[in-house]
Amino acid sequence: MSEIEKLLPGYNCGSCGFRQCRDFAAELKSPEDLHKCPFLIRENFQDNARKILLLLGADIPLDEKIVGIIDGIEADFTLAPLKDECSCREDIHPFDGSIEIEAGDILRYRPLGCPITHFAKVIEKTPGGIYTVHLVGPLHRLGNDDFKFKDVGLCMILAFDGKVAKGKIPKVGQTVKFVPEYCMMQKVHSGMVVGVEGRNVRIEAIDLKVW
């Protein structure tokens, strides 16, 4: 308990449900309980969090690297869907603006810079021809003649909203390299972080070419 207490922030803020960090350390029994401290997910306490996890018996590789399969580039983190969602949210902009698109539509498109055809469900339509989508294919969609979609052709990928699953939580304003967990090619993407809330991040200025 004393070793864990030394690694806690020591702010005694009460957010974990205990009056003092010392009380939290005394009751901390499993790695799953660590999320109750809102400060341990911040970058300046992540080394401490990993040490606490090891003290609690979690198997955490300290030198694990995230490497894109298709390009061999090392990434900063993998990006997973937000809680209870099927994929990361993506903001896309079709180059062909003549097609009528509404929330609920299924789109077939190819992201600029990617050779893979994607299928996505529109969850929000915003002015300027930008659509927020969840990916729903292609693996189980190809070859299904009954599957209805709108073919919108080439699209620019503008942003990702997701959760850092593996790797360090970035800072706002940081240019990052990341791998979406559901990416078929496991290709490293890049972009700039414009929002961080816990492990949830928003990344804009997306580029599929990592120099």
pLDDT single digits (tens) 66-90: 888 777 889 999 999 999 998 999 9
* Paired tokens of 86: 């099927």
pLDDT of residue 76: 92
- Measure the N-to-C terminal CA separation of the chain; round to a whole number of Å: 46
The pLDDT-based confidence of 121 (bands split at 50, 70, 90) is very high
Q: Name the residue with higher pLDDT: 120 or 29.
A: 120
**Is the model's pLDDT at 147 over the cut of 80?**
no
The count of other CB atoms within 10 Å of the CB of residue 23 is: 15
Percent of the chain with pLDDT over 70: 89
- Residue 58 confidence (pLDDT): 66
Residue 145 vs residue 17, higher pLDDT: 17
For domain 2-55, the CATH class is mainly alpha
* Residue 203 clears pLDDT 90, i.e. is over it: yes
CB atoms within 10 A of CB 145: 5
Domain-by-domain residue ranges, the chain? 2-55, 66-207
The model's pLDDT over 127-138, given as tens digits with 9 standing for 90+, comes to 889 999 999 876
What is the identity of the amino acid at 123?
I
**Tell me, what's the pLDDT at 41?**
66
Nearest partner of 39 among 26, 27, 52, judged by Cα: 52
139 pLDDT above the threshold of 80? no
**Contact by Cβ (8 Å): 78, 64:** no
Mean pLDDT score across all residues of the chain: 86
Report the length, in residues, of the chain.
211
What pLDDT was estimated at residue 208?
80
pLDDT for residue 143 is more than 60: no
What is residue 172's predicted lDDT score, i.e. its pLDDT?
96
Quick check: 43 pLDDT over 80?
no
